[in-house]
Structure 1
Amino acid sequence: MLETFDEIDETDADPPRSRGSRVRRAIAATVALVLLLLVGAVAAYLLFLNHELTSNVKHSALLPTPGVSGAAAPPARKAAAKDAQNILFIGSDSRTTVADGRSDVIVLMHVAADRKTVTLVHFPRDLYVSVPGHGKDKINAAFAYGGAPLLVETLQNLVGVPIDHVAVVGFEGFKRMTDAVGGVNVYVEEAGSTSEFTFHKGYQMMNGEMALAFVRERHALSQGDISRGKRQEAFIKALLLKSLSRDVLANPVRLAQFVDAGTKNLTVDQAFSIGDMRSEAFGMRNLRGSDIAFVTAPFTGFGTAPNGGSIDIVDEPGMRLLGDALQNDAMSGYKDQTHTP
Structure 2
Amino acid sequence: MLAVPVVAVGGYLGWLNHLVTSNIKFADLMPTGGPLVPVDGGAFDPSEPGEGGIPTAAVPAESAGDNYLLIGSDARSGLGGARSDVIIFVHVPIDKHNVSLIHFPRDMYVFIPGRGRNKINAAFAFGGAPLLVDTVQGMLGVKIDHVAMIGFEGFKRMTDAVGGLDVYVEEGGKIDGHVFTQGMMHLDGEMALAFVRERYDLSQGDISRGRRQQAFLKALMLEAVSVETLANPAKLATFIDSATSNVIVDRGFDVGQMRGELLSLNGLRPGDIRFLTAPLSGFGRSPYGASIDLVDWVKLTQLGTAIREDRLDSYS
State if a TM-score over 0.5 links the two structures. Answer: yes
Q: Structure 1 length normalisation: TM-score?
A: 0.85
Task: Give the conservation status (yes or no) of the 8 Å contact 2:82–2:124.
Answer: yes
Q: Give CA-to-partner distance per residue, 1:215-260, whole Å, 9 cap, x none.
A: 1011111011111111001000001001111111111000000000
Give the fraction of aligned pairs with identical amino acids, expressed as a percent.
Answer: 55
2: CA distance between counterparts of 1:314 and 1:70?
A: 17
How far does the alpha carbon of each residue in 1:48-74 deviate from its partner, in whole angstroms, 9 at most, with x for none?
A: 100111001111110001149999985
Q: 1:39 maps to what in 2?
A: 6
- With structure 2 as the length reference, what TM-score do the two structures score? 0.91
Give the aligned partner of residue 60 of structure 2.
75
Determine if the alignment matches structure 1 residue 57 to structure 2 residue 57. Answer: no
CA separation in 1, counterparts of 2:18 and 2:255?
10
* Unpaired segments ≥5 residues, structure 2: 39-56
Per-residue CA deviations over 1:273-298 (Å, capped at 9, x if unaligned) read 00010111111111111111000000
Distance 1:155 1:200, change over 3 A: same
Aligned-partner Cα distance in 1 for 2:183–2:220:
16
Alpha-carbon separation, structure 1, partners of 2:37 and 2:76: 32
Q: In proportion to residue count, which structure has more helix? A: 1
- Match of residue 173, structure 1, among 140, 154, 159: 154
The count of corresponding residues between Structure 1 and Structure 2 is 298
For residues 180 and 53 of structure 1, what CA distance do their matches in structure 2 show? 15
Q: Quote the residue 1:159 is aligned against.
A: 140
Q: From the superposition, tell whether residues 136 and 196 of structure 1 become closer, same or farther in structure 2 (CA, over 3 Å).
A: same
Task: Quote the RMSD (CA, aligned, Å).
Answer: 1.7
1:99 CA drift (Å): 1.4
Q: What's the secondary structure of 2:80's corresponding residue?
A: helix
SS of residue paired to 1:99: coil
Q: Which ranges of 4 or more aligned residues in structure 1 deviate by more than 6 Å? A: 68-73
Match of 2:282? 301
Mark the runs of 5 or more structure 1 residues left unpaired by the alignment.
1-32
Query: Aligned letter for 1:269?
Result: D
Residue 81 of structure 2 corresponds to 100
CA distance in 1, matches of 2:36, 2:278: 27
Counterpart position of 1:126:
107
In structure 2, the partner of 1:318 is: 299
Aligned to 2:219: 238
1:204 and 2:172 are equivalent in the alignment: no
Contact 1:89–1:109, Cα closer than 8 Å, also in 2: yes
Tell me, in whole angstroms, the C-alpha distance in 2 between the residues paired with 1:211 and 1:67.
Answer: 39
Structure number with greater CO (CA < 8 Å, separation at least 6) is: 2
- Aligned partners of 1:100 and 1:195: how far apart in 2? 22
Q: Does 1:224 align with 2:205?
A: yes
Whether 1:284 aligns to 2:269 is no
The Cα shift of 1:132 comes to 0.3
Contact 2:36-2:138 at 8 Å conserved across structures: no
CA distance in 1, matches of 2:142, 2:199: 30
Highest Rg: 1 or 2?
1
Does the 8 A contact of 2:37 with 2:58 survive in 1?
no
State the match for 2:235 in structure 1.
254
Q: Does 1:185 align with 2:151?
A: no
